[in-house]
């Protein structure tokens, strides 16, 4: 595992103490921030890593994963954390909560909190304390947005256009889409169909593009609204 030298020194590599992992670069989660968290919160160790893979040998100790909003394929990464670190909570550190209205990778089966980077320090620390206590935190404006069922501003159009899925999905994609809709993750789908996890991930991305959705929740919603009604 490759972690920053400072964080390796604090965790000792094999420590059984709870771990809070911040996934992002040094520019996104600075050394100063790590020192501040260490000073403020007794108990957990705070580590910074560039990817999920760097954390897997501490999987049983990780209680909370903080993802920076600028990470690529954020929704997929949240799903991967759910598979690799089933006991860990997840939060996304963001600058502009309003911008999440159209891009938030929300999955009703996986609770994801929001940690606003540019909030006042005492507010930021209060929210972080809630997360460490096992509570979820979603800003009120996002909760209201979802409660009223507003369509995300940045949502992709339904390029499938209501067509039957067999007219534009491959046979393999037709196998995978119902499994996505049932809540199965890539690893489980791979085992069920005798495929590699990377192959399933590739098919999943292709399905999203063809349906005009951005994540698994969108694919499941499309399937439940279209495929079943057409059958």
Q: Alpha-carbon distance 210 to 165, whole Å? A: 10
Task: Assess contact for 189 and 180: CB atoms under 8 A.
Answer: yes
**pLDDT per residue as tens digits for the range 158-191:** 445 556 666 678 888 889 988 988 888 888 999 9
Average of pLDDT values for 203-221? Answer: 82
Q: Which residues contact 198 (CB under 8 A, 6 or more apart)?
A: none
The model's pLDDT over 148-163, given as tens digits with 9 standing for 90+, comes to 444 444 444 444 555 6
SS3 labels along 23-47 = ECCCCCCCHHHHHHHHHHCCCCEEE
Looking from the CA of 36 toward its CB, the CA atoms found within 13 Å total 10
- Model confidence, pTM: 0.58
Q: Would you list the domain boundaries of the chain?
A: 5-147, 165-230
CA distance 113 to 97: 12
CATH class of the domain comprising 165-230: mainly alpha
What pLDDT is recorded for position 150?
A: 46
CATH of domain 5-147: 3.40.50.2300
What is the pLDDT averaged over residues 11-30? 79
């Amino acid at each position: 595992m490759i972690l920053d030298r400072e964080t390796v020194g604090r965790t000792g590599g094999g420590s059984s103490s709870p771990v809070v992992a911040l996934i992002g670069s040094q520019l996104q989660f600075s050394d100063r921030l790590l020192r501040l968290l260490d000073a403020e919160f007794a108990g957990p160790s705070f580590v910074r890593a560039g990817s999920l893979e760097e954390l897997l040998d501490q999987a049983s100790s990780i209680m909370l994963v903080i993802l920076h909003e600028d990470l690529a394929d954020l929704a997929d990464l949240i799903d991967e954390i759910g598979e690799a670190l089933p006991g860990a909570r997840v939060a996304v550190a963001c600058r502009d909560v309003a911008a999440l209205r159209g891009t938030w990778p929300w999955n009703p089966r996986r609770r994801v909190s929001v940690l606003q980077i540019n909030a006042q320090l005492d507010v930021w620390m209060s929210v972080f304390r809630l997360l460490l206590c096992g509570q979820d935190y979603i800003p009120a404006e996002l909760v209201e947005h979802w409660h009223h069922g507003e369509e995300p501003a940045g949502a992709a159009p339904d390029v499938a256009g209501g067509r039957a899925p067999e007219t534009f999905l491959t046979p393999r994609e037709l196998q995978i889409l119902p499994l996505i809709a049932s809540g199965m993750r890539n690893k489980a789908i791979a085992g069920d169909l005798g495929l590699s996890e990377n192959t399933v991930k590739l098919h999943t991305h292709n399905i999203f593009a063809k349906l005009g959705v951005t994540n698994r929740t969108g694919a499941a919603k499309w399937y439940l609204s279209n495929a079943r009604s057409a059958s």
